[in-house]
Structure 1
Amino acid sequence: MQPTSIDLPTAGRLSLWGDVRRPALLSVAMLGSMPQRETTVSFECRTSGQRRHYFTGPLLLDVLRAAEPLFDPGERKDRLRYLLAVLGRDGHRAVLSWGEIDPEFGNTPALLAVTMDCQDLTEQGPHLVMPGDRCGSRHISQVTGIRVCAADRLWG
């Protein structure tokens, strides 16, 4: 099932689907039960200037691994052909590559945050946090969906 920004069943949940063995509907509580990381990020927001926030949540990589992507685990580089499309409740979207978040390649410790500035995000939904981004455009609040997709279709 492919969610849009308006058809998510309830606030605070996200659909994880695509080229995975275990698609899931995840709540903030489920994400909160996973091993947590914390990070403080600063970024420039075009409309409101410099922003700084403290987040906690599981690594995006850990959440995605639990869904068991369909890449060949015996082929180290196979995972580099996978894309991650992230959708926020307001329609904000971003596309990441698996290589960006994989420790053997880009090693960006992206989070699906369950708290922001010590405030619980259960009602809002998790936030995608991209440490190291200078601009806040890939920080997506109220994530409603993540699609994992092999990029093979891009090449015909």
Structure 2
Amino acid sequence: MPGARAPGAAGTRLRLSGDLERAALLAVADLREMPQRTVEAGFACGRLGEQRHAYTGPLLLDVLLAAGPRFDPVIGKDRVRFLIAVTGRDGHTAVLSWAEIDPRYGGGVALLATRVDGRDMDADGPQLVVPGDTAGGRYVSRIAAIWTGPAAAAGAA
């Protein structure tokens, strides 16, 4: 992973773990070293009403692929049984399926925003952005951890 920081590195970091070749602690600066994409997205927020912002950061898929998910090469569709859990420092967790962000299946966009409306997120940590969600439930702020692995490992079997 580009520039993955050691556990003692300064700044807000997220823990990338699960069924991966390269688990990591990543700072916002590490995520900025990856290819960036900007999306305009809006969602309804109960207490604040309609929110619309420009988000910039790497695709969640690119971050996870760089970590080397351990798909079983013998099982051609192994990746479709993988889940992704994104947890904020406040404990809010959103779950996505690998298939919904994989271009061979759903091909949806999920972004780890490192900038919102041009403002750097270094102090807060990145934010999960899922354009197309009309409710903000999967917009996880201040990400502390991302886990990915087979559904059975999460107790879903």
TM-score (normalised: structure 1): 0.89
2:77 partner SS: helix
Maintained 8 Å contact 1:36/1:58: yes
Structure 1's 96 and 120: CA in aligned 2 closer, same or farther, altered over 3 A?
same
Larger deviation: 69-78 or 136-145? 69-78
How far apart in 2 are the matches of 1:62 and 1:86?
15
Which residue matches 2:5? none
Which residue matches 1:105? 105
TM-score (normalised: structure 2): 0.89
Question: How many aligned positions are there?
Answer: 147
RMSD: 1.5
**1:32-60: CA deviation from partner (whole Å, max 9, x where unpaired):** 01000000101111221111011100000
Maintained 8 Å contact 1:11/1:124: no
Which residue matches 1:40? 40
Higher relative contact order (CA 8 A, sep 6+): 1
Structure 2: give runs of 5+ residues left out of the alignment. Answer: 1-8
Maintained 8 Å contact 1:57/1:115: yes
Runs of 4+ in 1 over 4 A off after TM superposition: none
Maintained 8 Å contact 1:12/1:121: no
Which residue matches 2:63? 63
Deviation at 1:10, TM superposition (A): 6.6
* Counterpart check, 1:14 vs 2:10: no
Structure 1: give runs of 5+ residues left out of the alignment. Answer: 1-8
How is 1:1-156 mapped onto 2 (pairs within 5 angstroms)?
A: 12-73=12-73, 75-153=75-153, 154-155=156-157
How far apart in 1 are the matches of 2:73 and 2:42?
35
How far apart in 2 are the matches of 1:150 and 1:101?
15
How far apart in 2 are the matches of 1:58 and 1:74?
29
- Return the letter of the residue paired with 1:50: E
